[in-house]
Structure 1
Amino acid sequence: MSTPAHVPAADSPDSPGSPGSPADPLARERSHLSASRAALRAMREDVQALDIKDVTANWVNAEVLARQIDDRVKALADLSDTPLFFGRLDYLHAPGGERAEGAEGERFYIGRRHVHDAGGDPMVIDWRAPVSQPFYRASRKDAMDIGLRRRFGYTGGDLTAYEDEHLSDPGESAITSKLLQREIERPRVGPMRDIVATIQPEQDEIVRSGLSGTVCVQGGPGTGKTAVGLHRVAYLLYAHRERLARTGTLVIGPNKSFLHYIEQVLPALGELAVRQATVDDLVAQVEVRGTDEAAAAVVKGDARMAEVLRRALYAHVSMPAEPVVVVRGSRRWRVPAYELEELVRELQDRDIRYGAAREALPQRIAHAVLVQMERAGEAPDDRVQDAVARDRAVKAAVKGMWPAVDPAKLVLRLLTEADFLAEHAAGVLDEDEQETIRWAKPVRSVRSAKWSAADAVLIDEAADLIQRTHSLGHVVLDEAQDLSPMQYRAVGRRCTTGSATVLGDLAQGTTPWATRSWEEALTHLGKREGHIEELTAGFRVPTDVIAYASRLLPHIAPGLTPVASVREHPGFFEVCAVAEPAETVAACARLLRNEGSTGLIAADARVPALAEALTAAGIAWLAPGEETTRETRLTLVPASLAKGLEYDYVVLDEPQAVVDGEPDERTGLRRLYVALTRAVSGLMVTHSAPLPAQLG
């Protein structure tokens, strides 16, 4: 018989002060873990055993229900090497008021998902449930009615240790959790894992903030901002599941490698229905085959381009010179030009989408005809109005006054026709800026054009001016500091009626258009009311490493607070002078003797030579986005792709080359800051050229 998770603490053999405590209370916890796994297995088997043959009206409903059942089975998977629960809360007594969830002496095991026994009694409580919140926020100053908080230690999926904190005992001094510290510093191999067992109070406050508000999280390296953002999605799906099931959620990352790195976090928490994409994925209406010079990309990414596009689009609207004559049977109905002009101006004044106005115009003309019919004694109905709106004369008039516009063709015309661009960019872009973005050679068609990523964003903006973009319930935007204003607008269109979680670090902005302030970013996103939070406690990067990297902050982001590492161990840190790539490869071999993953980060131009040196030395390596294994734990990372990734140990090759690989020194120093802060346990810097002076 399974042991319920809410056994009264007074009756528990290992509760504080309980007589007859067993010599090994760990055995009781292991027993509960085994029973909980069995209960989860039974829950999954119950779902798998459902017979839906006779419960649906048609094959479409059957397909939908089958897919829902399949998703539920996947969500109930028991990951053998992942703890089913990681903590326990013993309530002192039944709290009053808002905290009435906890009855007297109740005990709750806190885990990644809810598990109940055959009778429906909870054995594990979802970490997102209100009753679980004290596990993250309770302290000696505010015990939140908790007598004991217990943390569990695991090796693989086996429970191996526990650690108690008696929050209600005034005589017991506060302790630093060794299990918590060990979990934070545990070596990792493979993709990013969840941090649900180690969420800190300031992180939990962000995770549990409401769905209606937009939150912007500024966080330096290792502060857990990405994990906080993903756990916030999981929490919102728990607290607002029905609403978000209708409206949808989306996680946006900087590149495919990053998305691959984080893709297992939400499934580990039982959430499978969250789409992941890059900004380029969102705006992929044309094939991107070209690239822009930095100066052109900066202008194209400027928010002023939205006004240029709006002007160019609405320049297609023209006032009528002739009346519309509609023939119905033996009668001719005439709508004069001045009345048509009034209809056009009314639609312009309403400030609705270009396409919506174009669809409304024939109905407005038809209504004017119906008014004349009624005055003549006829009694037309809606069918007559629809027929008039489809009349050939009305269609021709609408085509002349409010023609259809293809967004890609509109952008192509702006980029290739100097006069057209000059007309609509007057007073917005100066002549040099116009010259910068204009294509040197004419292009015959949209299909033959070599569109750049920035061009695709312009086309997306134009498409939204014509037809409203579908809005989601919640969007998470990670590594946001590298987005242009126009890219922010593209993301903002996807959550106009929803909210957003914006994650980034101003010090890690490495694009020429990098974000200057979060207030400005939120304005471009359309979320000016968003709340900005700052995370400054570093849980990932060792003390010595973050201290070394922070020497760059006065030169790249003077207003930011340096990250303060809360790691118990300072970590491994070494700067080595080398003569040739073979010595850098030898440093990698040395670090591979340790447990965990190793990343060799280098300036993009130096990657081919290092790849040859690794192969010559017989060291297997992976590219970013490929999952590390026990056998292959070294990843060769171009500096341009290092952002957002992390490795237990990092060898950073030639820092000055990383700086020199960027268009300007400030961007290069920011790229170097990113590369220096990818290590979780240790960093070795190898160099033959002098180090950048900013590193002291």
Structure 2
Amino acid sequence: MSTEEFRNEQQFITSLYARLDDLRENAERAVQGALGEAGSGFQARLERDVVVAEQSGLLSALNSGESGLCFGRLEFSDGSDHHIGRIGIRQDDRERTPLVLDWRAEVARPFYLATGYSPMGLRRRRHITTRGREVTALHDEILDLADTERTGHEGADADAVLLSALDAARTGRMHDIVQTIQAEQDRIIRSTHRGILVVEGGPGTGKTAVALHRAAYLLYAHRELLAKRGVLIVGPNPAFLGYIGEVLPALGETGVLLATPGELFPGVRASAVDRPGAAAVKGRAEMAGILARVVSDRQALPETVPAGSGEDADLVPEPALEIDHDDYGTLLLDRTMAHEARDRARATGLPHNLARPYFAFRIIDALTEQLADRLGADPYGGPNLLGPDDIAQLGKEIATSAEVHAAIDTLWPPLTPRQLIADYLAEPTYLPEREAGLIRRTTTGEADWTPADVPLLD
């Protein structure tokens, strides 16, 4: 076994970590310098925040790459060679060839795919095992069988590194597989980003690890796009997120959000537990249609009937809301008026709260027309005596009337997801009584939300 090979790799690892320390120190200095700047203008604050965010992200990535920073080396038949690691590190900003290649770089693929049958230009593949910053083992695989040079670190068992990783002691946290990615796993991890990708397999086959490395690869290959949109990892419970939580940071990705389904609705941390069967009812696809009907029910029409007086006492007028206006007496928001306004608002196709202004504007216009007809009617049957400016002024007064807005709120109230779902769960409708009984809830505090409520809120 060649001690020179060990010595050379140790020298390289030592220099690599020295460069890591320099980069980390530079990032820390940049953050401290930005935070210490005295500028108070908007531009100065913006520039400071950008520097702090960028350098803090870089610092997190550098810190996370500390363990097992470099784990491989590729020696090509043309004499070139590359070290492979968790993150790419350059000697300096001007150097084009990195000291160590990011495992996700295309040129690093032979580390995972090359075989004796298809060497992909490799003559030798080296696995480097480290403990902290010390090289503890080298394992070389000969891929060019015509090459007679040997280092003394060739092993008879080509899977020795993989078996060693599989035999590693469990720590209660998932290990990344970046050093031992197999060819079929690599094809999944690097497959084209075209939408949903499903990774299937039996228990213990590495589905989760492959999926996490897939996320790390996408962040590398499509960083500009995904950095703008963000990446969310959803796990079934906090224990699972704790188990996988160190994988992506160990791969240099620290900007990913991890959450359980109970944390997906902003401002809600659903931790209560449903009674047996309730989550199944809430989780059915038909609940979306049921909640749409519940929202539609909140878009009401006038039901009250004002009492007649005098010679009209025997007449039953159209249902209407009476609106007391300080200056002009009572206005009537009748059913026909409300129905037309509701149809127009619904025709926009917008959600309830966003469609509400369209309803309100039509009601205000209709009440303005009603008031203008009353005040400007020509007793001799001629055109309305009010001019455009007069009618516009009436419209402003109607639009600023608290009583008018109260009437609009009665027919098309602003809704919040929490209040709507709390009201619905207090008295579930459009369900068989047995199922309604399963999800009925008498308390509506923040501590009462369950993970199965989150899709309903959404």
TM-score, normalised by the number of residues in structure 1: 0.51
Partner residue, 1:432: 434
Residue 114 (structure 1) aligned with residue 106 (structure 2):
no
- 2:109 aligned counterpart, secondary structure: helix
- 1:217 aligned counterpart, secondary structure: coil
- What code does the residue aligned with 1:38 have? A
Partner residue, 2:313: none
- What code does the residue aligned with 2:169 have? P
Q: Deviations over 1:446-496 (max 9, x none)?
A: 33x973525xx33x44443xxxxxxxxxxxxxxxxxxxxxxxxxxxxxxxx
Q: Distance in 2 between matches of 1:137 and 1:363?
A: 65
Q: Distance in 1 between matches of 2:162 and 2:236?
A: 30
Partner residue, 1:453: 450
C-alpha displacement at 1:195, in angstroms? 1.4
- What code does the residue aligned with 1:225 have? K
Q: Deviations over 1:532-587 (max 9, x none)?
A: xxxxxxxxxxxxxxxxxxxxxxxxxxxxxxxxxxxxxxxxxxxxxxxxxxxxxxxx
Which ranges of structure 1 fall in alignment gaps of 5 or more residues? 1-20, 94-104, 465-696
C-alpha displacement at 1:263, in angstroms? 1.8
Q: Distance in 1 between matches of 2:22 and 2:88?
A: 13
1:277 to 253, 259, 270: 259
Contact 2:337–2:363 (CA<8 Å) still a contact in 1?
Answer: no
Q: Distance in 2 between matches of 1:344 and 1:292?
A: 37
Between 125-134 and 384-393, the greater mean CA deviation after superposition: 384-393
1:165-564 residue pairs with structure 2 within 5 A? 165-169=141-145, 176-189=158-171, 191-283=173-265, 291-319=273-301, 322=320, 338=336, 340-363=338-361, 378=388, 391-392=401-402, 395-417=405-427, 421=428, 424-425=429-430, 429-439=431-441, 443=442, 446-447=444-445, 451=448, 453=450, 457-458=452-453, 460-464=454-458
Residue 72 (structure 1) aligned with residue 54 (structure 2):
no
Partner residue, 1:135: 111
- What code does the residue aligned with 2:432 have? D
- What code does the residue aligned with 1:396 have? A
C-alpha displacement at 1:303, in angstroms? 2.7
C-alpha displacement at 1:126, in angstroms? 0.7
1:75-90 residue pairs with structure 2 within 5 A? 75-77=61-63, 82-90=67-75
User: Which structure is higher in strand share?
Assistant: 1
Q: 1:148 to 1:386 in 2, by over 3 A?
A: farther
Contact 1:252–1:278 (CA<8 Å) still a contact in 2?
Answer: yes
Q: Distance in 2 between matches of 1:147 and 1:377?
A: 92
Q: Deviations over 1:170-205 (max 9, x none)?
A: 799996321232123222335322211111222222
C-alpha displacement at 1:130, in angstroms? 1.7
Q: Deviations over 1:201-242 (max 9, x none)?
A: 222222223444112222222211222222222222222223
Contact 2:6–2:138 (CA<8 Å) still a contact in 1?
Answer: yes
Q: Distance in 1 between matches of 2:395 and 2:112?
A: 63
Q: Distance in 2 between matches of 1:145 and 1:217?
A: 30
- 2:448 aligned counterpart, secondary structure: coil
C-alpha displacement at 1:411, in angstroms? 3.2
Q: 1:325 to 1:208 in 2, by over 3 A?
A: farther
C-alpha displacement at 1:117, in angstroms? 0.9
Partner residue, 2:48: 62
Contact 1:324–1:337 (CA<8 Å) still a contact in 2?
Answer: no
Partner residue, 1:158: 134
User: Which of structures 1 and 2 has the larger relative contact order (alpha carbons within 8 angstroms, sep 6+)?
Assistant: 1
- 2:130 aligned counterpart, secondary structure: strand
User: Which structure is larger by alpha-carbon Rg, 1 or 2?
Assistant: 2
Q: Distance in 2 between matches of 1:301 and 1:180?
A: 41
C-alpha displacement at 1:432, in angstroms? 2.8
Q: Distance in 2 between matches of 1:211 and 1:22?
A: 44
Q: CA RMSD in A?
A: 4.1
C-alpha displacement at 1:348, in angstroms? 2.4
Q: Distance in 2 between matches of 1:253 and 1:38?
A: 37
- What code does the residue aligned with 2:69 have? L
1:31 to 11, 19, 39: 11
Q: Distance in 2 between matches of 1:236 and 1:383?
A: 59
Q: 1:364 to 1:145 in 2, by over 3 A?
A: farther
1:529-678 residue pairs with structure 2 within 5 A? none
- 1:150 aligned counterpart, secondary structure: strand
- What code does the residue aligned with 1:115 have? I
Percent sequence identity over matched residues? 33
- What code does the residue aligned with 2:68 have? P
Q: Deviations over 1:253-293 (max 9, x none)?
A: 22222222222222222222222221122248567675433
Q: Deviations over 1:320-362 (max 9, x none)?
A: 55599999x99xx999864653342233244432222124433
- 1:228 aligned counterpart, secondary structure: helix
Q: 1:114 to 1:293 in 2, by over 3 A?
A: same
- What code does the residue aligned with 1:312 have? V
C-alpha displacement at 1:111, in angstroms? 0.3
- 2:129 aligned counterpart, secondary structure: strand
Q: Deviations over 1:490-541 (max 9, x none)?
A: xxxxxxxxxxxxxxxxxxxxxxxxxxxxxxxxxxxxxxxxxxxxxxxxxxxx
Q: Deviations over 1:43-80 (max 9, x none)?
A: 22232333433788344652453243233223222765
Residue 46 (structure 1) aligned with residue 26 (structure 2):
yes
- What code does the residue aligned with 1:124 have? V
C-alpha displacement at 1:129, in angstroms? 1.5
Q: Distance in 1 between matches of 2:338 and 2:275?
A: 46
- 1:35 aligned counterpart, secondary structure: helix
Q: 1:286 to 1:176 in 2, by over 3 A?
A: closer
Contact 2:262–2:269 (CA<8 Å) still a contact in 1?
Answer: no
Contact 1:310–1:462 (CA<8 Å) still a contact in 2?
Answer: no
Q: 1:160 to 1:416 in 2, by over 3 A?
A: closer
Contact 2:14–2:133 (CA<8 Å) still a contact in 1?
Answer: no
C-alpha displacement at 1:127, in angstroms? 0.8
C-alpha displacement at 1:123, in angstroms? 0.4
Between 221-230 and 137-146, the greater mean CA deviation after superposition: 137-146
Contact 1:286–1:451 (CA<8 Å) still a contact in 2?
Answer: no
Q: 1:367 to 1:268 in 2, by over 3 A?
A: farther
Q: 1:244 to 1:366 in 2, by over 3 A?
A: farther
Q: Distance in 2 between matches of 1:196 and 1:239?
A: 16
Contact 1:78–1:84 (CA<8 Å) still a contact in 2?
Answer: no
Q: 1:91 to 1:387 in 2, by over 3 A?
A: farther
Contact 2:320–2:332 (CA<8 Å) still a contact in 1?
Answer: no
- 1:294 aligned counterpart, secondary structure: coil
Partner residue, 1:587: none
Q: Distance in 2 between matches of 1:371 and 1:207?
A: 65
Between 318-327 and 267-276, the greater mean CA deviation after superposition: 318-327
Q: Distance in 2 between matches of 1:22 and 1:217?
A: 42
Contact 1:362–1:390 (CA<8 Å) still a contact in 2?
Answer: no
Q: Distance in 2 between matches of 1:377 and 1:125?
A: 77
Q: Distance in 2 between matches of 1:168 and 1:37?
A: 31
